[in-house]
Structure 1
């Protein structure tokens, strides 16, 4: 049985961050992944006809200079840097993003009601900032932050499509800088014609010039000792042994895991029943990505569009050819639609082909596709773990699971190891932090 001083489970952003830190420390380690590619949820789908899609709209908007440098070096400086353009689709209107900073594009009667709600909140001193108490629901937070009219019309409608459940079921400890609350002066000014919009919190981004987002990560495959097609079947924390589906067994000194917690706990030997039950209460969404390659590229000036209408099947689309022109053949464009489900709240009850057909139908109805557009590629790809759902089971269940793993000396990292809402750069840094903890730094 091979002995490996440091083992990293998962070769996504977090696992590669851990590998980077271990490699920098000059220690012996191995990284294992069940897939036949590195990158995990940051993978890229490269189709034979020249269309390129990532697993979701991955771009690098990190301001962390260390992560910026690592990614830039991996593509030898061959990246594009651009301003992210976002808009919203609501009842036939295309609205600048974020909507609360651009009210002038809404119907007059809706503007009046939104401002009236807002004024009442401020006058009563009930307006809430990002420091909402942990017991408050996300629905409560939205009502207190924006008033009932705006909350119900926009973030609550979108949130149900994205999180797959009502906002009364969600906590508020994931919000951070994601939801901007303008002042009453900013709100009124945004309703006046000719005023400059307040920009979104994400402004500029970087993206590899060629090959999709995965190009940032592929050099690690040859730089580190990464073994692919290695599916974990058992982790024994007492014997400090790991078994893989191909029959290989290794022993380890320290282990760092970015495997989703429900999967990891189910594969650990001797897990107490309460820990197993807690892991099964951790809710997450699953996304189906409908990837379309089209014989033209002028669908929209916006790289990302959010959809609030309940009768539109997808919650968001992104146009990868606007991230980099190399993501599509010359003269062609790309559309990727995101459709969310969850085992706990909204089980998948369709078929990939139905999702493709419905997506094309809705894109035509919303004016993104024309009836005579040539669809050169139509594919649906599923990612079982898309986002952590911050419901009221999460905190207590996570405390039990992480407590057990801490006692078992299994260090976790990444979005589904830490079970949080980490972006790609944050996931990479969390892997580095887990590795430094394993090294005793």
Structure 2
């Protein structure tokens, strides 16, 4: 038997691609999906913050269409940035037209200075860190960068050397500071420096004068279920599995990794030839009975930020009908991003209404409080012109995601190789966003499941 802990996208994908094998998928929650779930209340549908299906892999593209034939809306990104009381298109670094003149000059001068500095460094790499390498004996997706070197640029260094002091001051530092809630010199450059668009000088100049029609970034087009709610995807995968493969409301309480034996909340236990797990790696370490003390202590060094989603149902049309999400770098707003789910499909709200989701990042040891978060979000939305008045809010709910984003720092690069290797040597395979302790898109988690199934098949052949 293969025991899979977690019925998120990685776990369900693994179970689907392990067809013909004896598989048990144990899910703590009452429904499948992990964080790829949806909440339906008062006629509104809210996901656990934004979940959009960006697809590049041909096999995953075909599978998605097979799972929900005719059920996808093909959408083009409409993302914006609220800065200096102005809405500018994403990305900030290529769309400063409309901002105050002194801000544009700051950004242009800094960008040119960063280019001049780089011209004297012919060995300057596009990425501030060495490439990741696959762990020995691991599935293809378990790739790690080497430990941080003393002279390695931080994420903050990369921002300044790539975009210059002006763009750093007016967008990258305040926005990422709100995201990570710490000094950005503590964040390593292997976070998402690969995904942040880097326009050339002509694009930056053009974007400072007029609107740019150039498409930047890895995610300009994506799919979303027309019926509303990203949970249609994991439910469609689960429906393809044999009855009894997925057991919900069944929590793993402890793991004997050496024996690959999992003890569950109902008093039962299962022993697998392999255990696949997408639960957060520090949580897995805490429940592993035979994990050495030094590795258990090391796992506690793995950092993250939590995310609070303030879900609001609002009467009337949205003030910016085409905007799907808006970034807020400025510190006077508690939230760092506002999502507008009804811009994805109108089925996310009753007729005559729209939905807003305010996302707040916080350190687990510095929770701003749910009630205070709700009030500050409403105040901020009123100031930003995204709410007419308080009476227009007809539904409100605060939802917390304890493990929001994995922190990329020195500890992660130091701890992961030894911790993941220990589990792999015992036949326990961490996968997915939180199992592999990584920054992943939905497609990546689906690929993890497919790859681990093929890896197990190759191992048995």
C-alpha separation between the residues in 1 aligned to 2:348 and 2:385? Answer: 22
CA distance in 1, matches of 2:335, 2:376: 9
Matches of 1:38 and 1:130 in 2, distance apart?
39
Deviation larger for 428-437 or 281-290: 428-437
| 1:279-311 CA distance string (max 9 Å, x none) | 111111111100000111223231010001101
CA RMSD of aligned residues (A): 1.7
User: SS of the residue aligned with 1:217?
Assistant: helix
Whether 1:39 aligns to 2:57 is no
The answer (yes or no) to whether the contact 2:11–2:277 under 8 Å persists in 1 is yes
Mapped to 2, the partners of 1:276 and 1:63 lie a distance apart of 37
Gaps of 5+ in 2: 131-151
Q: 2:141 maps to what in 1?
A: none
Select the residue among 168, 175, 194 that pairs with 2:185: 168
Aligned counterpart for 1:333 among listed residues 354, 366, 380: 354
Unaligned runs of 5+ in 1: none
Counterpart of 2:366 in structure 1 is 348
How far apart are residue 16 of structure 1 and its match? 1.1
Contact preservation (8 Å) 1:296, 1:373:
no
Q: Measured at CA, do residues 294 and 66 of structure 1 come closer, stay the same or move farther in structure 2, by a change above 3 Å? A: same
Among 431, 438, 449, which residue is 1:431 paired with? 449
What is the 5 A alignment of 1:255-294?
Answer: 255-294=275-314
Say if 2:260 and 2:428, in contact at 8 Å, map to a contact too: no
CA distance in 2, matches of 1:410, 1:58: 28
Deviates more, 1:33-42 or 1:218-227: 218-227
User: How many pairs were matched up?
Assistant: 431
Deviates more, 1:131-140 or 1:391-400: 131-140
> Kindly tell me: are residues 43 and 259 of structure 1, through their superposed partners in 2, closer, same or farther at Cα, counting changes over 3 Å?
same
Shift of 1:349: 3.2
| TM-score normalised by length of structure 2 | 0.90
Q: Where do 1:13-412 residues align within 5 Å?
A: 13-23=9-19, 26-47=20-41, 49-124=42-117, 125=119, 130-133=126-129, 135-193=152-210, 196-224=213-241, 225-300=245-320, 301-343=322-364, 347-371=365-389, 373-412=391-430
2:30 partner SS: coil
Q: Which residue of 1 aligns with 2:5?
A: 9
Q: CA deviation at 1:197?
A: 4.7
Distance 1:62 1:373, change over 3 A: farther
Q: Secondary structure at the match of 2:168?
A: helix
Q: Structure 1-normalised TM-score? A: 0.94
User: Contact conserved, 2:228 with 2:345, CA < 8 A, in 1?
Assistant: no
Paired with 1:194 and 1:241, the residues of 2 have a C-alpha distance of 58
2:257 and 2:213 map into 1 onto residues whose CA distance is 58
Measured after TM superposition, the shift of residue 58 of structure 1 is: 0.7
